[in-house]
Amino acid sequence: MVQDIITTFQKRYNQEPTVIRSAGRVNLIGEHTDYNEGFVLPAAIDKEIYFAIAPNGTASMRAYSFDLHEKASFNLEQVEPSEMVWANYLLGVVAQFQKAGHTVPGFDLVFGGNIPMGAGLSSSAAVECGLAYALNHIFQFKVEKMDLVKMAQKAEHEYAGVLCGIMDQFASMFGKRNHVVRLDCRSLGYQYFPFDMREYRLVLCDTRVKHSLASSEYNTRRQECETGVAILQKHYPQVNSLRDVTLEMLAQHQDEFGPVVYRRCTYVVQENLRVEEGCLDLERGDLEAFGQKMFASHQGLQHDYEVSCPELDFLAEKAKESGLALGARMMGGGFGGCTINLVRLEKLEEFTRAMEVAYQKRFGQELPVYIARIVDGTGLLPTAKPEPSYNDSEW
Ligand code: GAF
């Protein structure tokens, strides 16, 4: 795939590109906590997007989407949102560099990859981070990596209309091979935890139900959390976000919340606790205990945060019932996309088969299953080297 993208670039633009690789992400636990200044535990995975890019000496961006077979050209002296959905993720990033005071010269770009769209694996964050990294590299803007993450997030807010938190862009940029990373979404401090790929696999079951993050539900959840915070601030002026709230505080003022806001807030506070305790499980190597927290997380997302859907609930339930997964939950914004399952290597085939059969029987549809390998985040791909190969023996 990388070679095809490079060849397409050479043919279209008649010059040699720099090649950047950017990754999709999984999140083991800590869902809808990032915009509440809480904790998340994501990792970058081997569902990737490649960017072949070079300055073109004009004032325009000429871009070609390898996957959609579509091209677009935009004058960078006047960047504004476009009708072309995919181009907006690129333009949004350019706009952020300009807002930060950089002049972005014209460039040629071919990009494409294998992150399934709408599967909750953050293809949009991978596009944003990849381009942010690429522009920073080829034009030597010298922007710090964490600032690139923030710019990518802003691009999503302003050009895709989704008020996302910072998790996806952070994971895409800061992912580390065979590690998950706990991010404190308030301080942006982070810590890597080794993930044992010799004994366990992260299995993604794709409902193929397309979620639309831009659909009002995501932004509504944010508002409901803010409503909860405003109620508590009357009693606890030191509270800035649900990160500062305890279950006792919520219980004490339960009658001031409507039932919906109360459930939303309870979920977020519990989920933050699960991330913190889950990291201790990882440190102890207690994956059984960690898996139990994944099941509990799904319950909260299904019943209290209400961002799941029947297909996700079915898969999470089946995984639990089968006894073949240590943990399972929906992942990402919700309303579709994948479940993430923690599975022992020796149970992998049996688990995959059981889920495929069950899904087919219940929904009359094939269930795509991906085994996620944890890889490094966004970076330069030395063109001289062959595509990274993931050999089982080196996990
Ligand atoms: C989406 C958002 F983009 C993230 O910021 C995060 O809020 C996630 O949904 C839910 O945890 O992926």
Within-domain flag for 393: no
Mean pLDDT of 279-289: 95
**313 and 248 in a common domain:** yes
CA of 166 to the centre of ligand 1 (A): 8
**154 and 51 in a common domain:** yes
d(CA 35, CA 376): 24
pLDDT of amino acid 198: 86
Paired residues of 71 in beta bridges: 64
Q: Is the CB of 35 under 6 A from ligand 1?
A: yes
**257 and 158 in a common domain:** no
CA of 80 to the centre of ligand 1 (A): 25
pLDDT of amino acid 387: 46
Mutate to test the pocket of ligand 1, among 28, 33, 34 (most ligand atoms within 8 A of CB): 34
**313 and 174 in a common domain:** no
Q: CB–CB of 204/26 below 8 Å?
A: yes
Per-residue model confidence as pLDDT tens digits over 317-349: 999 999 999 999 999 999 999 999 999 999 999
Q: Indicate the pLDDT class of residue 390, thresholds 50, 70 and 90.
A: very low
CA of 279 to the centre of ligand 1 (A): 20
Q: What is the CATH number of the domain that holds 18?
A: 3.30.230.10
Q: Is the CB of 244 under 6 A from ligand 1?
A: no
Within-domain flag for 389: no
**188 and 254 in a common domain:** no
**256 and 120 in a common domain:** no
Within-domain flag for 245: yes
Mean pLDDT of 116-136: 94
pLDDT of amino acid 245: 97
Residue 19 CA, distance from chain mean position: 22
Within-domain flag for 395: no
**343 and 209 in a common domain:** yes
**210 and 187 in a common domain:** no
For the entire predicted model, the pTM comes to 0.93
Q: Indicate the pLDDT class of residue 381, thresholds 50, 70 and 90.
A: confident
**164 and 102 in a common domain:** yes
Q: Is the CB of 318 under 6 A from ligand 1?
A: no
Per-residue model confidence as pLDDT tens digits over 19-64: 999 999 999 999 999 999 999 999 999 999 999 999 999 999 999 9
**244 and 263 in a common domain:** yes
- Domain of 268 in residue numbering reads as 200-372
ipTM exceeding the 0.90 mark:
yes
Among the listed ranges 125-134, 159-168, 233-242, which one has the minimum average pLDDT value?
159-168
**186 and 80 in a common domain:** yes
Whether residue 271 has pLDDT greater than 70: yes
Within-domain flag for 312: yes
Mutate to test the pocket of ligand 1, among 117, 167, 241, 331 (most ligand atoms within 8 A of CB): 167
Mutate to test the pocket of ligand 1, among 26, 32, 268 (most ligand atoms within 8 A of CB): 32
Number of structural domains, the chain? 2
Q: Which residues are catalytic?
A: 168
Residues 6+ apart with CB under 8 A from 96: 132, 151, 152, 154, 155
Residue 242 sits at the vertex; the CA angle it makes with 236 and 248, to the nearest 5 degrees, is 60
Q: Is the CB of 338 under 6 A from ligand 1?
A: no
Q: What are phi and psi of 18, to 5 degrees?
A: -90, 145
**366 and 233 in a common domain:** yes
Per-residue model confidence as pLDDT tens digits over 169-226: 999 999 999 999 999 999 999 999 999 878 999 999 999 998 665 467 888 999 999 9
Higher-confidence position of 84 and 394: 84
Share the mean pLDDT of the chain: 94
Q: Indicate the pLDDT class of residue 383, thresholds 50, 70 and 90.
A: low
Cα–Cα distance list, 357 to 116, 206, 239, 297, 361 (Å):
22, 14, 48, 25, 6
Q: What is the CATH number of the domain that holds 302?
A: 3.30.70.890
CA of 355 to the centre of ligand 1 (A): 25
Q: Which atom of ligand 1 is nearest to the CA of 167?
A: 5
Within-domain flag for 385: no
Tokens found for residue 337 = 């996309």
pLDDT of amino acid 329: 98
Q: Indicate the pLDDT class of residue 388, thresholds 50, 70 and 90.
A: very low
